[in-house]
Structure 1
Amino acid sequence: MRRAEPPRTGDPERDRDADPESVARAIALRLLTDAPRSRAQIAEAMRRREVPDDVADRVLDRFTEVGLVDDAEYAAMLVRTRHQERHQSRRAIAVELRRKGVADEVAHEALEQIDGEDEASAARVLVRRKLASTRGLDPQVRARRTYAALGRRGYSPSLVATILREELAAESLDDDETGLPLPD
């Protein structure tokens, strides 16, 4: 006579007989353990694992209700870190938020943390870094590399031009005061 097998235990994502709600919860919790995520990112992961949409919505609604999923807080955190640590522009951060599925109105509200002065200050930090790393190169090469580096971070060419002109002028004054030859 055969004994009944013990019930399956372990990860509901790997259990074919697991109820879809358990699978959805496991997916959401695993993703949120790694890093904060937007609702759309979690929903996409559930879709890839073939969790029915109504079950995914129910689980995501519950996670939102208890505060585990909060797109407004996620967007605000992403804006702060991308701007302060990586010195990205509002435009580059807006693109990233859209790609991560954050609603435009939520993204717009989060991006209000960055004003024009903050953006110019971050751009200035990047221009100074780029100029320091290209010191000794032809001025046109330095300018081109600076435009490219800041363009990849979403800064407008007019802002980059203004700051680059100011920083090159300050650099020339510094060189002149030290007695070093000025670049042509």
Structure 2
Amino acid sequence: MTRPAGGRRRRPRDIAEGEPPPGDPDLHPGDPDSVARTICLRLLTMRARSRAELADALAARDVPDDAATRVLDRFTEVGLIDDAALAASLAGAQHRERGLARRAVAAKLRQRGLADELDEALSGIDADSERSRARELVERRRRALAGLPAEVQARRLVSLLARKGYPSGIAYAVVREALAGAADWDIDGAADDPAGAPAADGAVST
């Protein structure tokens, strides 16, 4: 094969930025079911998806509803879509690894289209589990707050737990327990201080 000057073999024209890659279903529409399968497989190769997420992706690509339903049903039958397993896995990871409280985990699952799986997925997150995770969060955070006045620590720790979705009862109890023995703080004063923590029943960490 003759090579051009410089010794480099000629390559096919580069794909323009934003242009679908070769084999993209948008370039070769064909059978809607085949298009739907290609899209779903491509997305599932990147990470696990809920049925709702895949349905949204197919709708965004104008795949007909009947074709989308057939493919999603088939993927569910063979286990490529498993909302219950995905919800359980996400709930465990969000609670254990990120320390999110039950209601914050529920919000994450709803964002992923897993609202129907909440009861089962959240069954392992109870008050004892929340209290345990909250203690771990507080203990880790206290190391970074060493040297600050106890009241400042209290406000920041309660604020941390609030952002993670913990109920106020658990948040204040855990912080009170962690700072027991410190003479220069008042948990109730920290809660009432407008410059302090938000109510622990307020915003949830994202």
Please tell me the TM-score bracket, short chain as reference.
0.7 to 0.9
* In structure 2, C-alpha distance between the alignment counterparts of 1:108 and 1:62, rounded to whole Å: 25
Percent identity between the aligned chains? 48
1:14 and 2:26 equivalent?
yes
1:150 and 2:161 equivalent?
yes
Per the alignment, residue 97 of structure 2 pairs with 85
RMSD between aligned residues: 1.8
TM-score by length of 1: 0.83
Count residues in correspondence.
165
SS in 1 for 2:155: helix
Misfit runs of 4+, over 6 Å: none
Per the alignment, residue 64 of structure 1 pairs with 76
* In structure 2, C-alpha distance between the alignment counterparts of 1:124 and 1:24, rounded to whole Å: 46
Say whether the 8 Å CA contact 2:29–2:35 is kept in structure 1: no
User: What pairs with 1:52-131 in structure 2 (closer than 5 Å)?
Assistant: 52-104=64-116, 106-131=117-142
1:19, distance to aligned residue in structure 2 (A)? 2.2
1:140, distance to aligned residue in structure 2 (A)? 2.5
1:183, distance to aligned residue in structure 2 (A)? 4.3
Structure 1: runs of 5+ lacking an equivalent: 1-8, 173-181
2:179 to 168, 172, 175: 168
SS in 1 for 2:180: helix
Per the alignment, residue 176 of structure 1 pairs with none
Structure that is richer in helix per residue: 1
TM-score by length of 2: 0.74
